[in-house]
């Protein structure tokens, strides 16, 4: 998302940034563009859903593998893992699961955790890992948990995602007008997203 890209630009101004908008097409295009630009490594960065019920918003994920929907595990580069703080007590090294669709319910998150053991989930890292493999580039993932495993996302949160990386305010407002009961859940999600972004800024500054 554009808000996540802004964090990278502020902390790592020399880095090239691609925005996926949490879509498969956007993620593929972003990776291809970065490879064409001649980058020497790929980093999947942003917020993530928690699958491990012990993880709270703000938990920092530095997974050693990305698990694809077909079960394949793609390994992150050891040198990049070390740069990201792998092994530190404030880093979670358990694998990350890639999903091609939004996983919005606590029940589905729990089922995925029991089946895969992955600590978190996002919709971009699989494309980054596969793109790096095809291009012969090292890759790694740095994600911060935003919505924990026990939370079911309110409908408006899913509608908030725009393919250009922005926030669809019109869709959010329409959804809230139709179902105002979701307002407390949206407020809680916004609070946890702010906590996750603040933690992401802290980690980027450390790098």
Residues 55 and 145 sit within 8 Å (Cβ to Cβ): yes
| pLDDT for 174 | 75
- pLDDT for 114 equals 97
Which residue in 138, 127, 114 sits closest to 51, CA to CA? 114
What per-residue confidence (pLDDT) applies to 169? 63
Average pLDDT, the chain: 90
Contact between 8 and 17 (Cβ < 8 Å): yes
Q: What are residue 176's phi and psi, to 5 degrees?
A: -65, -40
Question: Are 99 and 121 contacting, i.e. CB atoms less than 8 angstroms apart?
Answer: yes
**Interatomic CA distance for residues 97 and 74, integer angstroms:** 11
Task: State the helix-helix crossing angle for 2-11 and 183-206, rounded to 10 degrees.
Answer: 20
- Give phi and psi for 60, each to the nearest 5: -100, 120
Sign, Cα dihedral of 191, 192, 193, 197? positive
- Predicted confidence (pLDDT) per residue in 143-156, tens digit: 999 999 999 987 76
Q: What angle do CA 90, 83, 199 make, to 5 degrees?
A: 40
What's residue 72's pLDDT? 96
- The confidence band for 1, taking pLDDT boundaries of 50, 70 and 90, is confident
Instruction: Give percent of the chain with pLDDT exceeding 70.
Output: 92
Residue 125: partners with Cβ closer than 8 Å, 6 or more residues away: 44, 63, 66, 96, 98, 141, 143
**What CATH number belongs to 2-206?**
3.40.50.1580
Read off the pLDDT band of 186 (50, 70, 90): confident
Sheet holding 60-61, edge to edge: 60-61, 139-147, 42-50, 120-122, 96-98, 65-67, 73-75
Question: In this predicted structure, what is the pLDDT of residue 3?
Answer: 85
- Which pLDDT tens digit goes with each residue over 76-105? 999 999 999 999 999 999 999 999 988 999
Smallest CA-to-CA distance from 154 within 185, 123, 175 is with 185
């Amino acid at each position: 998302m554009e808000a996540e890209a802004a964090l990278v630009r502020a902390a790592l101004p020399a880095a090239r940034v691609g925005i996926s908008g949490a879509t498969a097409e956007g993620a593929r295009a972003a990776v291809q563009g970065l490879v064409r630009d001649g980058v020497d490594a790929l980093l999947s960065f942003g917020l993530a859903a928690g699958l491990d019920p012990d993880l709270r918003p703000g938990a920092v994920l530095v997974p050693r593998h990305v698990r694809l929907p077909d079960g394949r595990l793609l390994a992150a580069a050891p040198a990049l893992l070390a740069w990201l703080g792998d092994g530190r007590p404030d880093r979670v090294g358990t694998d990350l699961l890639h999903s091609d669709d939004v996983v919005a319910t606590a029940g589905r998150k729990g089922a995925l955790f029991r089946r895969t053991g992955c600590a978190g989930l996002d919709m971009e890292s699989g494309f980054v890992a596969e793109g790096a493999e095809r291009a012969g580039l090292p890759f790694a993932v740095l994600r911060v948990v935003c919505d924990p495993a026990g939370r079911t996302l309110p409908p408006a949160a899913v509608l908030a995602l725009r393919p250009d990386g922005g926030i669809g305010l019109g869709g959010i407002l329409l959804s809230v007008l139709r179902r105002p009961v979701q307002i407390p859940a949206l407020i809680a999600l916004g609070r946890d997203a702010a906590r996750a972004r603040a933690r992401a800024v802290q980690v980027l500054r450390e790098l």
